[in-house]
Structure formats: C-alpha cells, structure tokens
Amino acid sequence: MKFSELANYFERLEATTKRNEMVALLAELFKSLTPQEIEKVAYLCQERLVPNYEKIEFGISEKLLAKSLAKALARDEEELWNLYKEVGDLGLLAQSYIGEGKDKLEVLEVYNRLMDIATTVGKGSIEKKTDKLAELLSLSSGKEAKYISRIVLGRLRLGIGDPTILDAFSYAYSGDKSLRPVIERAYNLCSDLGLVGFTLFSKGLEAIRDFKVQVGKPIRMALAERLPSAEEIISKIGKCSVEPKFDGFRCQIHKDGDRIKIFSRNLEDNTDMFPDLIEGARKQIDAESAIIEGEALAFNEEAQEFFPFQVTVQRKRKYEIETIMADLPLKLFAFDLLYVDGEDYTPRPYIERRERLKNLILPGNVIMIADSIITDNPKELNLFFENAIGSGLEGIVAKRLDAPYQAGARNFNWIKLKRSYKGELSDTVDLVIIGYYVGRGARAKFGIGSLLAGVYDPDTDAFKTVAKIGSGLTEDEWVKMKGLLDEIKVNSKPSRVISILEPDVWVEPKYVVEVRADEITRSPVHTAGKDGEELGYALRFPRVERFVRIDRRPEDATTVQEILEMYNMQRKIEVKE
Ligand code: ATP
C-alpha cells in the first residue's frame, strides 16, 4: 500500500470518535494490506515501530523536527520555528508548506526509514537523524508529512487502544467480532499486536488457535480479584492455596540459556535495572529455558528483614544501579511457573505449576519460593492472614488449585485479601488522570487545584470518570503534577474519554495514580457504570495515595467492572455490620 493511502485512513480515523466506526475503518484498512504491512501498521497506529515492551524511541524533539523540516523545505530554521509558535502544530505546518504531493512512498519504505531514524545512535546521531528525517520529509506529500511528523513526535493520538485493533483483526478476517476471544488469547500470550496480526493473516486462524508462549515475549499478567473475608473466599473457590501477598514489584523472568529478560507488571523490559536478579536467575533456575513470575523485594541485610514498598521502589531506576544495588539488594519470591524447556505450563492447573516450580528453583540467596498452605478452613486462612499482616506484609492471595494461568485476566482464580481499614474502602484503586481544574483559593497560585480521573472500560476501550480528586498531594507534588500534565494537554476531550464533567484542561489519558476513598456512591455526574438514565458511580472523599504509578499503563487502571464489584462488596459489608 502507498503511504498516502494510509495517511487517508489516518485522516478518517482522526475524524471519528465512534468506536464502531473506528473498528470498521481499521478492518477495511487491514483487509487491503499484506500480512507484513499489517504487522507494521498495527504498531504505527499506536505511534510505535515495535511492540510496547520493546524500547525503541524516536528521540525526536519538536526542535529537531523543525530543523529537519527547514532542511527539507530549504527554509530558514528560525523562521520556521517562529511560524510553528503561531500555528502550534508542526504536523499542520509541514502539511501546509509541503502542499500537494507526489504520493510515491510505500508504507513499508516509510516504516523502514522511520526504523532507521529511531535506531540511529551514538556519536553525531542527532545530526544524522535530522538528515534522515529531512530526506523522508522531502520525499513526502503534505499530508504524508503531517502524519510522519505526528508519528515521530508521538502525537498521532488516534485514540486506538489494543482492544480496538483486536476487534478490527476479527472483523477483517471474519466480518464480525466472533474471533476476538481467540485472537485476544494469542495476544495475551505474546503482548505483540503486530505478531498476532501477521500470524493471523499469513498463517490463518489455526495458527492463532495454536499460538504458544515464547521465551522473550512477555505474557500479559494474570491478576487477582478481591473478596472481603476468608469465609467468602472459601465459599467461592473451596479448598485453595494461600500465599502471603508481598508488597514489592512483580517480575516476569524469562531465561533462555544465559540470556535473561525481566518484565514489569506493565510489561516493560526492566532487565537492565536488576543485575542481581539476573545473576540469581542464571544460577538458580535449573532449566535451559523457563519463564517464572514472582515479587521482588529489597532486603535489609543488617536487620535481616524486608524493606517496605517505599524503599523497595527505589530500585526502579535507570542510573547508578550498582550503588543502589549494594544498598538495597533484591530477593525474589517466586510464585508461578509459565514455561519450562519447550513446555507451555499456562494451561496446567496451579497445583502442578507450583510443584514444578519447587523443583525448578535451586537453593541460593536470591530466589525463594513463597511459602503457602492449602486449606478449606476459613479459620486457618484467617490465621495465615493475621500472621502475614503481623510480619508487615499486605495480606494474602488465595489461589484456586485447579486453575490454569489465565494470561491478561483478572478473575477469581486468584483472590486477594488485604487489611481492611474501618470505614474506608478496603482497597485502593488505580485511576487514570484525564484532566485538571485550575486551582481556586489557596492552590490558585499553582494553577492546578484538582484532578479529573477515571477508570478503564475494556468493553468500549474507553476511560470513564469516577472522581474529582483535590487532596493527597503535597504542594511540591501538585507543582510536579501540573508540569507532567501540561506536557500532555490536548485542546479538546480525547476520543477515548467519556465524561459529562468538563475540566479546565484536558490531558491525554496517560498517568495512573493510586487513590484511596471512603466509599463508592451512585452519582449523576460521573460516567463510570452509567447506563442510559441509570446513575454512574463515584468515589467519596478520594485522595491520592501514591503519586504517578510508573508500573501502570492507562489500560491497567481499575476497571468499571471492578468498581461495580467493590460497590456490591461494600453493600454486603454494610448489611452485616
Ligand atoms: P495491588 O494494587 O493490590 O498490589 P495490583 O493492581 O498490583 O494490586 P492485583 O492483581 O490486584 O494487582 O494483585 C496482585 C499483585 O500482587 C500481583 O500483581 C503481584 O505484584 C502481587 N503479589 C504479591 N504476592 C503475590 C503472590 N503470592 N501471588 C500473586 N501475586 C502476588
């Protein structure tokens, strides 16, 4: 396909906010592409060149783009920069100055050139990147240049999330969304939309049905549901395994010979941050290749105890790793096994995975197996829970004995039970910031007074509001928050946001904060759970408990469904009291 045709599709996608139309347009687009083009376009639609978990960034700032554009147009750089200041959008500027064009470029050629630009590193790379981008822009028509500019700046903002692409694959292949579950299963096993699209359209549906876990590609993590008591857990899943809930960060470790990769909860490649875990995995995983999961915690050698989360999280950094590693060595409590030496363990029951995990980990001082009990007695479960709390842990996770590892799913195969705070919701929620209000009163001087925040609705691939948050941040944090949000502010409501309230400033749904509240109430002004005339749901007295969570993508936020479940759970507790 010609890149100009793709640009036309981008333009049509940009013009609609209706998800059905978006899916239909994308399906039409995928139908007219080769499998290889589908792979690349699936990434490009999300301003990327590779799957989310791979780290390739363009490294192109507005200044650099303006420089390339000036070069392509043989105009003065400063003059162009001043024009940009007036227009406010380099993409539009590129379009109007380049004008009608030649439409020569193919999609794959543009992709390859963009890849070349993104992977140009080292000495003199800025100069080289600018030249290469200038060359690409000089080959483009105005419309093509507009979208190339937006892609390299990460400002395509078509509002296309993963579920929308998965639906479009299904429509393109079969004319309806019936294949979504099987396509999604493959996606959950590799987290790579391009690979899934390529496999479906080059090898067919059977290959997707047969899709297997691959070492090196992160598996979307299984998540836990909540229940308020040991009794309810036992009555829900019967005899189960109970493990401590460690408060560190989740790691999915992939071992392929001597090569180790470590993925975070939101599937980022964190390998470089954890040399100690890598060493541990090399020494202690007794297999040629394997994928295990566990929770990493910083260990205080002096006191021989684990540090709290606030300390552990300091290990998540990119610089001076050696120094911090010496102060805060990590240990990993392994709790699941997903793959060993050619064998996909995800379909196998928990109990079998755990047995194999125990044999797989050799004794050593980095990786340990989380201890557990198997019980169908609520009293025994409670005792284990109290012990866990007593030793400073968050609570417990109960696991259904016969459950497979369901990649990407949050369900009752795992149930978490945490300390409950009297009169408050027993759990915090993770909300996506979608806008802010400029401050009044004391906070007016910061220009930010409260946040409009929402939950994720995977069915419609949209963010729906649930709270206006005005507390929980220090003055410094408000200032920092405004800085972060101003970088991603947009002129109008983003297409994936559903909101009745209008904040003073809309932002791209990107940052997730952890929020505590007193309770969930019904509300006419919030859209989470709102169905036609029915009321939505809102958090009462919400406050930020943890500043922007770097381990969460917006789609990892609490879902509408979870809010409904927490609301029902709260009502049950009220009735009991
Ligand atoms: P929370 O915010 O409560 O930590 P979460 O949104 O990170 O929850 P949940 O699915 O709600 O994720 O809880 C499961 C998380 O608990 C896992 O992601 C993992 O990081 C952590 N965890 C700690 N100990 C265990 C364990 N023994 N088994 C499974 N997960 C565990």
User: SS3 for 179?
Assistant: coil
* Ligand 1 atom nearest to 265, measured from its CA: 18
| Among candidate residues 421, 460, 425, 383, the one with its CA nearest the CA of residue 537 | 425
d(CA 44, CA 51): 10
Q: Which residues line the pocket of ligand 1, CB cutoff 6 A? A: 223-224, 243, 245-246, 250, 265, 295, 335, 370, 397, 416
Going by alpha carbons, the residue nearest to atom 11 of ligand 1 is: 224
Per-residue confidence (pLDDT) for residue 423, from 0 to 100: 44
Mean pLDDT of 181-190: 96
Q: Quote the DSSP letter at residue 308.
A: P
Question: What is the torsional sign of CA 203, 209, 215, 219?
Answer: positive
Per-residue confidence (pLDDT) for residue 422, from 0 to 100: 40
| Residue with more model confidence, 565 or 374 | 374
- What would the pLDDT profile of 474-509 be if each residue is shown by its tens digit? 989 999 999 999 999 999 999 899 999 999 999 999
Return the CA Rg of the chain.
25
| 305 CA from centroid of ligand 1 (Å) | 20
Per the structure block, which two tokens stand in for 268? 């980022």
Q: How distant, in Å, are the alpha carbons of 33, 114, 242, 266, 325 from that of 251?
A: 37, 31, 20, 10, 16
- What would the pLDDT profile of 232-266 be if each residue is shown by its tens digit? 999 999 999 999 999 899 999 999 999 999 999 98
| 549 CA from centroid of ligand 1 (Å) | 14
> 396 and 381 in contact (C-beta within 8 Å)?
yes
Out of 309-318, 350-359, 373-382, pick the least confident: 309-318
> How many CB atoms are closer than 10 A to CB 208?
21
Q: Which of 266, 295, 384, 565 to mutate to test the pocket of ligand 1 (most atoms within 8 A of CB)?
A: 295
Q: Where are the domains of the chain?
A: 223-421, 429-576
Per-residue confidence (pLDDT) for residue 353, from 0 to 100: 97
Per the structure block, which two tokens stand in for 469? 């948050």
Per-residue confidence (pLDDT) for residue 106, from 0 to 100: 96
Mean pLDDT of 141-147: 91
CA angle 307, 313, 318 (to 5 degrees): 135
Placement of tokens 């209000």 in the chain? 437
Mean pLDDT of 87-113: 85
Per-residue confidence (pLDDT) for residue 421, from 0 to 100: 43
Run of H or E residues at 422: none
Mean pLDDT of 333-353: 97
d(CA 550, CA 512): 8
Mean pLDDT of 207-213: 95
| Residue with more model confidence, 484 or 91 | 484
CATH architecture designation of domain 429-576: Beta Barrel (2.40)
* Ligand 1 atom nearest to 551, measured from its CA: 7
| Among candidate residues 236, 509, 284, 555, the one with its CA nearest the CA of residue 398 | 236
Q: Give the dihedral of Cα atoms 189, 191, 194, 198; nearest 10 deg.
A: 0
Q: State the chain's mean pLDDT as an integer.
A: 91
235: left (phi over 0), alpha (psi -120 to 50) or beta: alpha
For residue 381, name the pLDDT band (cuts at 50, 70, 90).
Answer: very high
- pLDDT > 70 in the chain, percent: 97
Going by alpha carbons, the residue nearest to atom 13 of ligand 1 is: 224
| Among candidate residues 457, 471, 446, 476, the one with its CA nearest the CA of residue 527 | 457
Q: Which residues are catalytic?
A: 245
Asked whether residue 518 carries a pLDDT value surpassing 60, the answer given is: yes
Query: Across 105-248, where does the E strand assignment appear?
Result: 223-226, 240-245
- What would the pLDDT profile of 261-302 be if each residue is shown by its tens digit? 999 998 999 999 999 999 999 999 999 999 999 999 998 877
Placement of tokens 């939505």 in the chain? 536
* Ligand 1 atom nearest to 221, measured from its CA: 18
In our burial notation (b when 16+ CB lie closer than 10 A, e otherwise), range 297-308 reads: bbbeeeeeebbe
Per-residue confidence (pLDDT) for residue 112, from 0 to 100: 97
Mean pLDDT of 33-46: 96
> 164 and 22 in contact (C-beta within 8 Å)?
yes
CATH architecture designation of domain 223-421: 2-Layer Sandwich (3.30)
pTM: 0.83
Q: Quote the DSSP letter at residue 218.
A: P
Per-residue confidence (pLDDT) for residue 59, from 0 to 100: 86
Per the document, the length of the chain is: 577
* Ligand 1 atom nearest to 222, measured from its CA: 10
Per-residue confidence (pLDDT) for residue 146, from 0 to 100: 92
Asked whether residue 49 carries a pLDDT value surpassing 70, the answer given is: yes
Give percent helix, percent strand, percent coil of the chain, each to the nearest 5.
40, 20, 35
* Helical ranges in 488-559 per DSSP H: none
Per the structure block, which two tokens stand in for 363? 């004794």
Asked whether residue 82 carries a pLDDT value surpassing 90, the answer given is: no
For residue 577, name the pLDDT band (cuts at 50, 70, 90).
Answer: very low
The β-bridge partners of 249 are 296
Asked whether residue 420 carries a pLDDT value surpassing 80, the answer given is: no
Per-residue confidence (pLDDT) for residue 116, from 0 to 100: 96
Per-residue confidence (pLDDT) for residue 200, from 0 to 100: 98
User: SS3 for 54?
Assistant: coil
| Among candidate residues 62, 67, 127, the one with its CA nearest the CA of residue 88 | 62
Going by alpha carbons, the residue nearest to atom 4 of ligand 1 is: 247
| 207 CA from centroid of ligand 1 (Å) | 32
